[in-house]
């Protein structure tokens, strides 16, 4: 028997059927065809599948789809406001903070979760907050800089 779930995903009403064992990531990607959320490991170790559920940053590969009943899920897609990129997205592009880009949706979601609660993080706070997200291409330098610069911009500082 499949379970019927109703949730808000990226600001839209969403309904789906899932098995009890199916993860949120499986449903996002294979049932709802929202493939912007990536799978790097399926075991909670890479952060490529990061989403925000009711304001909390989670690995969607570790959360059961049935658990999002009645909740609000934000993926990388809802970071931008229609065609207007979020400052984080713009900075990532301007600073070349992505190479292959497969880690990027996860990093953006995680970074947004950080900036939502702390607009003035230190470099070390950024590094530890993002330590759950693996990037094999960039060595993190440009990612960390982008997040710090975006924070400054959002604070109305050096922008």
Partner 1 sequence: MSEEAKFRWIGTRVVRPDGVDKVTGRATYGADFALPDMLWGRVLRSPHAHARILSVDTSRALAHDGVEAVITSQDLPDIPSEEAFVGEQPTNFRELSHNVMARGKVLYHGHALAAVAATTPEIAASALDLIEVDYEVLPHVLDMPAAMAASAPSLHRDLEPAGFAAGATVPPNVSRRIELGHGEPDQGFAAADVVVEREFTTKPVHQGYIEPHACLVQANPDDDITIWSSSQGHFMVRAYTAKLLGIELSKVRAIPAEIGGGFGGKTTVYLEPLAAQLSRISGRPVKMVMSREEVFRATGPALGTRIRVKMGCKQDGRLTGAEAVLHYEAGAFPGSPVQAGAMTMFAPYELEHVRVTGYDVLVNKPKTAAYRAPGAPMGAFAVETVIDELAEKLEIDPIELRLRNAARKGTQAPFGPRYREIGCVETLEALRSHPHYTAPLGPNQGRGVALGFWFNAGMQSSAGLNVNEDGSVSVISGNPDIGGSRASLALMAAEEMGIDYEKVGAWIADTASIGFSDITGGSRVTFATGMAVVEAARDVKRQLCERAAAIWEVEPERVKWVEGEARLEGEPDREPLGLVDLAQRAARTGGPISGRASLTARGVGMAFGAHICDVEVDPETGRVEVIRYTAVQDAGRAIHPSYVEGQMQGGAAQGIGWALNEEYVYDEDGKMCNPSFLDYRMPVASDLPMIDTVIVEVPNPRHPYGVRGVGEVPIVPPIPAVVNAVHAATGVRYFDLPLSPPRVLAGIEAAADRGA
d(CA 61, CA 82): 26
User: For residue 115, which of 77, 81, 89, 154 has the smallest C-alpha distance?
Assistant: 154
Interface residue with partner 1 among 1, 13, 43, 156 (CB under 8 A) is 43
Contact between 8 and ligand FES per CB under 6 A: no
d(CA 95, CA 88): 10
Stretch that binds ligand FES, among 37-45, 63-71, 117-125, 148-156 (CB under 6 A): 37-45
**Residue 68 CB, nearest approach to partner 1 (Å):** 18
Contact between 7 and ligand FES per CB under 6 A: no
Interface residue with ligand FES among 67, 99, 119, 145 (CB under 6 A) is 99
d(CA 7, CA 104): 24
């Amino acid at each position: 028997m499949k379970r019927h779930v109703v949730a808000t995903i990226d600001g839209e009403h969403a309904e789906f059927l899932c098995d009890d064992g199916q993860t949120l990531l499986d449903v996002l990607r294979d049932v709802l065809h929202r493939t912007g959320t990536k799978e790097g490991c399926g075991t909670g170790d890479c952060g490529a599948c990061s989403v925000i559920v009711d304001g909390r940053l989670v690995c969607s590969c570790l959360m059961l789809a049935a658990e999002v009943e009645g909740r609000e899920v934000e993926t990388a897609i809802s970071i931008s406001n229609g065609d207007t990129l979020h400052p984080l997205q713009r900075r990532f592009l301007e600073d070349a903070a992505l190479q292959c880009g497969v880690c990027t949706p996860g990093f953006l979601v995680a970074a947004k979760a950080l900036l939502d609660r702390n607009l003035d993080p230190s470099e070390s706070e950024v590094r530890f907050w993002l330590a759950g997200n693996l990037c094999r291409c960039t060595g993190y330098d440009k990612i960390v800089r982008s997040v710090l610069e975006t924070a400054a911009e959002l604070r109305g500082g050096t922008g």
